[in-house]
Amino acid sequence: MTILYAAEADEAAQWTDSLRALDPGLDIRFWPEWGDPATVDFVVVGGRSPGDLSIFPKLKAIQSTWAGVNHLLRSPGLPQGVPIARMVDRGLTGSMTEFVVYQVLDEWRRGPELRAAQRDARWVETMPRLAKDCRVGILGLGTLGSDIAQKLAGLGFSVSGWSRSAKEPGGNIRSFGGADSLPTFLGDLHILICLLPLTAETENILDAKLFGHLPQGAVLINVGRGAQLNEADLLAALAEGRLRRAVLDVFREEPLPATHGFWRHPQITLTPHVAAITRAGTGADDILENYRRAMSGRPLLNQVDVRKGY
Ligand code: NDP
């Protein structure tokens, strides 16, 4: 009964130490030294496409250390019918919520303008804006989006969320479900946050058509995936004032090439895909639980619906 670690090599020690702290008897091997392929039961994969997993004839489950599995679902050699679990980790969720709350507060309290004023030694007094006057919308009211919605609502922001199916999030959070409700959801927002998984349906969703439904001067925070953003449409929306600013943590090409125009764009705040990262210390529990479930033929925690793509 073998776990094959095929995720990021520089994180291998953290993951294996955390897993062995929970169960010292685990047989963990490292890509590409798996020995007899027929002994590999469970593979842990990370943020890059793994190698050909179809060579393991008795593979019972694939566990991602990442919440988003778009790269995994597109990787060649992905065996058909083997269940896949994505990562849900309280460390990752907390980190994402803190990042987004910090960006929303920075924006609403005019952080970019205040920093620019300090650079020019300009004393600019403005009335501080209150959270209750800010309408924030979240594309994707799943594990991460829901936690952000609750925390922002707790601070007094007026929060709404959009997902495939309408939810009952409580706490004064408005929920919109399905494509037909998207224009209404977008229509009165000051700040739009994207936390959708990347699928065929959400690729390029952040485009001129969507921006056209937002009020003039809205702010975009994209922490979903880079391929959800049409870059040319973003630049046009920023130039014409449809969007006032964009905070981008994810990009079509990562690392973002040094020559890319986003780096120096005055209306773009850019972070290098660091909004949230899974922590082995908190993520290992669910991996071990899924390993045990896979070995006993039970459904996995956080199993990916391959047809939906998330
Ligand atoms: P979940 O699967 O829990 O939630 C996804 C949400 O998106 C659900 O509410 C789902 O709707 C909604 N959704 C999916 N497709 C559509 C669609 N076509 N139309 C409308 N709504 C849709 O995922 P998580 O919250 O855990 O993660 C979301 C994404 O965040 C990840 O896939 C990843 O890309 C990104 N991420 C980014 C990180 C970063 O550091 N920048 C770190 C971690 C994740 P429904 O509930 O109705 O199914």
For ligand 1, pick from 195, 225, 256 the residue to mutate: most ligand atoms within 8 Å of CB: 195
Tell me the average pLDDT across 251-265.
98
Residue 261 reports pLDDT greater than 90 = yes
HSE-up of residue 259 (Cα within 13 Å, Cβ side):
0
CA distance 25 to 40: 16
Tell me the average pLDDT across 297-309.
97
Tell me the average pLDDT across 199-218.
98
ipTM: 0.99
- Check: CB of residue 163 under 8 Å from CB of residue 191: no
For position 277, what pLDDT does the model report?
Answer: 94
What pLDDT, in 10s, does the model give residues 15-46?
A: 999 999 999 999 999 999 999 999 999 999 99
Mean of the per-residue pLDDT values of the chain: 97
Query: Which residue is catalytic, options 135, 225, 242, 245?
Result: 225
What pLDDT, in 10s, does the model give residues 56-73?
A: 999 999 999 999 999 999
CA–centroid distance, 277 to ligand 1, in Å, is 15
What pLDDT, in 10s, does the model give residues 166-187?
A: 999 999 999 999 999 999 999 9
- Check: CB of residue 77 under 8 Å from CB of residue 51: yes
For position 1, what pLDDT does the model report?
Answer: 83
Q: Is the CB of 163 under 6 A from ligand 1?
A: yes
What pLDDT, in 10s, does the model give residues 123-150?
A: 999 999 999 999 999 999 999 999 999 9
Tell me the average pLDDT across 285-291.
98
The sign of the dihedral angle between the CA atoms of 289, 295, 300, 303 is positive
HEC-encoded secondary structure of the chain: CEEEECCCHHHHHHHHHHHHHHCCCCEEEECCECCCHHHEEEEEECCCCCCCHHHCCCCCEEEECCCCCHHHHCCCCCCCCCCEECCCCHHHHHHHHHHHHHHHHHHHCCHHHHHHHHHCCCCCCCCCCCHHHCEEEEECCCHHHHHHHHHHHHCCCEEEEEECCCCCCCCCCEEEECHHHHHHHHCCCCEEEECCCCCCCCCCCECHHHHHHCCCCEEEEECCCHHHECHHHHHHHHHCCCEEEEEECCCCCCCCCCCCHHHHCCCEEECCCCCCCCCHHHHHHHHHHHHHHHHCCCCCCCECCCCCCC
CA–centroid distance, 115 to ligand 1, in Å, is 32
CA–centroid distance, 130 to ligand 1, in Å, is 28
CA distance 251 to 255: 8
For position 39, what pLDDT does the model report?
Answer: 96
Task: Based on the residue annotation, tell me whether 273 is a catalytic residue of this protein.
Answer: yes
Residue 49 reports pLDDT greater than 90 = no
Tell me the average pLDDT across 228-233.
98
For position 227, what pLDDT does the model report?
Answer: 98
For position 22, what pLDDT does the model report?
Answer: 97
Residue 300 to residues 23, 85, 118, 181, 294, Cα–Cα distance (Å):
19, 7, 52, 32, 7
Residue ranges of domains in the chain, CATH in brackets = 2-89+278-295 (3.40.50.720), 91-270 (3.40.50.720)
Task: Count Cβ atoms within 10 A of the Cβ of residue 44 and give its class: 0-12 exposed, 13-18 middle, 19 or more buried.
Answer: buried
- Check: CB of residue 107 under 8 Å from CB of residue 191: yes
Residue 118 reports pLDDT greater than 90 = yes
Atom of ligand 1 nearest to the CA of 225: 34
